[in-house]
Amino acid sequence: MGRDAVTKKIYVTKTQVKAAQLLVERSKATGKTVRSSIAKIAGASGRSSAANSAKTRKG
């Protein structure tokens, strides 16, 4: 996906945000950890509560 080197923005599509949110919700349901970057994508659309409350790990 595209990125803006000046503003340091990484562009993600709505579908990718939706997929990340589903993965975060799934991790909450199963108790498995999800990558912090996936939680960051999931929280990019204002639905950050799911992402913030999810267990995250680095890498």
Partner 1 sequence: MPATELPTWAVYAVSFGTPAAAFAGAAIGHIVTRRGATELEKRSRREQLMKTLQWAAELAISDDEAKANLGVSQLVAVTTSDLCDKDVQEFVDAALVAVLGNLPDEIETDPDAVVQPIAPARDTGDGKCVHTLEGRADRWVVMP
Residues that bind partner 1 (CB under 8 A): 1-3, 7-20, 22-23, 26, 35-38, 40-41, 43-45, 58-59
Specify the residue, 49 or 58, whose C-beta has the smaller distance to partner 1.
58
Q: Residue 3 Cβ, how far from partner 1 at the closest point, in Å? A: 7
HEC profile of 43-57? HHHCCHHHHHHCCEE
Specify the residue, 1 or 49, whose C-beta has the smaller distance to partner 1.
1
Place of tokens 């975060």: 24
Is 4:11 a contact under the CB 8 Å cutoff? Answer: yes
